[in-house]
């Protein structure tokens, strides 16, 4: 069942990824499964702009893997990368355009014990969801979550009443080429938040697109 007020949130997510990004900073995303709920307060995201972005999975068009990105706003695009990790994006923009926001880092605010178990009890809670693969693992996301609506059970997305007044912007982590330099500040974060991931510049462009 779609949540109360979901239409307004979906309309907000239907904007440009660059405009939606600040709204996700401070947003709370909850996933409830048989083990219970885990909630993350999002502190860092990266925008991926589909056919205009060589760093996006959707740059070369629609495939079985990236099909969710071409769907309506408000759904999760979850992909498997490097043969070991899952990462999650919130689809935004206009249906068919394939833009989205990678959930790069956050703070676990509910279900910390469960998140610790999923993350093999890291040394500090700051590391529970610092980084996109850790965030997805803490929330219990995998390819079964691909295409899930973040505005319907078992998910819940609550946006802040307004975007934060202070937003950090800079190049994406580990992405070269378009969007991977200071000229394209497509990474957004909450300045001073200890859960934000460390910046790592991209390597020289290779003959393949980089995972969003």
- Nearest Cα neighbor of 118 from 14, 51, 40 is 40
Q: Which residues contact 5 (CB under 8 A, 6 or more apart)?
A: none
Give the three-class secondary structure for 175.
Answer: coil
- How high is the pLDDT of residue 141? 98
Q: Pick the residue with more confidence: 182 or 59?
A: 59
Please say if the pLDDT value at position 1 is more than 80.
no
Q: What is the pLDDT of residue 211?
A: 47
Tell me the per-residue pLDDT of 26-70, one tens digit each, with 9 for 90 and over. Answer: 999 999 999 999 999 999 999 999 888 888 888 888 989 899 999
Q: Would the pLDDT of 155 be above 70?
A: yes
What confidence tier does 164 reach under pLDDT thresholds 50, 70, 90? Answer: very high
Segments making up each domain of the chain, as ranges: 6-189
* Fold of the domain built from segment(s) 6-189: 3-methyladenine DNA Glycosylase; Chain A (3.10.300)
pLDDT digits (tens, 9 = 90+) for 79-115: 998 778 999 999 999 999 999 999 999 999 999 999 9
Helix, strand or coil, per DSSP, at residue 200: coil
Burial class (CB in 10 A: 0-12, 13-18, 19+), 209: middle
Six token digits for residue 108: 């676990």
pTM of the model: 0.89
């Amino acid at each position: 069942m779609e949540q109360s007020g979901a239409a307004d949130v979906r309309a907000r997510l239907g904007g440009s990824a660059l405009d939606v990004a600040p709204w996700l900073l401070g947003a709370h995303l909850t996933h409830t499964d048989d083990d219970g709920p885990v909630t993350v307060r999002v502190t860092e995201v990266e925008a991926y702009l589909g056919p205009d972005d060589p760093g996006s999975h959707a740059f070369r068009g629609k495939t079985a893997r990236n099909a969710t990105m071409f769907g309506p706003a408000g759904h999760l695009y979850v992909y498997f990368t490097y043969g070991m990790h899952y990462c999650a994006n919130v689809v935004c923009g206009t249906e068919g355009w394939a833009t989205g926001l990678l959930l790069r880092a956050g703070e676990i605010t509910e279900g910390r014990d469960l998140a610790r178990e999923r993350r093999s009890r890291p040394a500090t809670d700051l590391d529970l969801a610092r980084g996109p693969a850790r965030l997805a693992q803490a929330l219990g996301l995998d390819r079964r979550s691909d295409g899930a609506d973040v505005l319907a059970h078992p998910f819940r997305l609550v946006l802040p009443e307004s975007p934060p007044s202070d937003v950090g912007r800079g190049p994406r982590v580990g992405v070269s080429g378009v969007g991977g330099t200071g000229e394209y500040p497509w990474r957004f974060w909450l300045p001073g938040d200890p859960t934000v991931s460390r910046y790592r510049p991209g390597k020289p462009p290779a003959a393949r697109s980089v995972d969003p």
